[in-house]
Structure 1
């Protein structure tokens, strides 16, 4: 069996690693346009923030290590077309310009996504960066000592993480967000407001409902950013306004969402026979919300492992993915926050009959040092009290509590059950009534 995998970063390499273990007779080939594989871009904001200095920490495996397991890896090769009728992949060798082709029995598409680069005048200046690849970010990090005024465009995960990390280093940071709140996707407004306060406490100036219109340049270098409401000095501009699936070369050949994400089922199969997809180029089966676009590394790796089995076995042996919950977390200054399952906005958009509760409670016993408040919001079914979603905000020990809430949502527990789960207790870690119990017991 010839298994061809297009893309070798997260989902692609997970598929390859599992497939060679599952079917010893299969010939597994990974085609990757970069010079590397298995790169974790989630670490880039923290590398930029000097939380660590060795970029190699972000690589799970080297190409040499993967080749030793029996995987064929073609680096610096870009797939330009797929003929699904003849099961043929066409690619270009980026080092020689030569066009090549390869026939497959089963195909995995893990082409990832590319950062959205809005058509703002001046965006092609030499001091405008996106935070996606190791090379440009290493260059940005080396140049940081010469930069003082930073403008970040976008208030999602990358924008907030980068702004926070650079403010900690003493940079003057302006964050421009077109929406009414930062982190408005995974969090409801009350949590976005808390995150904004936490980031502002580090010195970041946040501009909401404001759009960048022009990057003012001199000799190809941005000197300021003009928005529809003001103008801000800029020694460097970081653009982080979202991602678009790398699927343009497949347009019209597969079922896709409006943004170009390839639609898959619970087995990772696309609308074309013997073709699978996962990662930032594809949808994700969500336990509560159906097929959604959810570009998260955790889901990419899990779907990759599932598909690594399915692509290498007979149909009757294939395994279904249990479904994601969109669980995510972020650090903002001295605080941390997490979201899992459905937010209130998502529950409303899905037309669910839901209720919510939102409380602040203590992280551990009051007589143990440095007691802190944790804010917890639960979204649950109005009649059955089955838990749909949870959000948390606080200092130490907050995000790890989301693990318990994710498990409860995954299992379909009710708030009544959750209120009496027997969580571990000791004064340094919790109260006799754990914070999760307390939140659940306020659900009426």
Structure 2
């Protein structure tokens, strides 16, 4: 069964490469129309998932953050999902772009042209709208996709996948271009299909990503935990510090770009820090503070919601109203702490010092390095990418929010226009050598 799914995806991918690229936007319009019409059906399926998940949360078998991510009925979420399709359709095609062009010699031109990766296997937890996000990105970028959502979203993802397939069937893009599977055994079998699948994209915690990497020979682009930090530098403006720290933590605590750690310059422990702490506690956040920052809260309103931190707290993605706090001696120590403890997702500095800003941007080993801005900006839609497959914390191929550009690779196209073709002997072994002259990248020669 898994092999048949993988083969179908490969055949759909190959067939789609001979279809006019403009047909991808036709397919996206068809999907949006179908999902608009089927809103009630999708939300009814999602309600079943929510109903089944709530007892698991109460029993401690499912986190409250996953339940929040599961809910398609949250105000504005369904419309945002539909808008993501429109936004992706409006973006320029990422394929067929010439990124390098040279004349190797008279009548011999080399172009490097962007192209799809091929067949993607995307594994994700909870969020059923990811089915639509990935389908839109895959179609626009020319990649076939096989999707596996978490078991808690099975009703939602099954209905969404069926609607997408039915919408594709009305277009020139094969209906098997986007498929879904529902069981763990199917995933295990698909991870062995390295002949047909080109890239695996697990979107979840480190445990999921590590497990996938250990099970497959296929290349893996990991979307792991979000242990994000905000650092208040010695020159931090009070108003900025409170705004950035509070929103980074509470805007959507179940998100992977929510702040989990707050680092405070030692000079601010008795001045700015208590004000930030009171602002956090006032909106329901509990503080896990090191000795210096905990002692500084004595006699303040925040003291009742602050306890001593442990080393483990600085490695923890709380996904809820808890933040770990630690004092540091300066920007270099803040960078060192984050590089050691974080998941290399998103980290922000609040500072007025240009030297600290420069050090942050250069020294921080994270996919998203922010200055005086909320960590919540780390998002494909907010970046103008239309939507995202996820946020990659790795260092190969794509990093940060993975949109269309993260789903393409490239190929080299060499074309001879000589009457008798080109051979090595024309340029080597006594030939005329190579010119290696830059030529226009405006258009590929085919």
Q: TM-score interval w.r.t. the shorter chain?
A: under 0.3
By relative contact order (CA 8 Å, sep 6+), the higher-ranking structure is 2
Query: Which is strand-richer, 1 or 2?
Result: 1
Q: Select the structure of larger CA radius of gyration.
A: 2
TM-score, with structure 2 as normaliser: 0.23
TM-score, with structure 1 as normaliser: 0.23
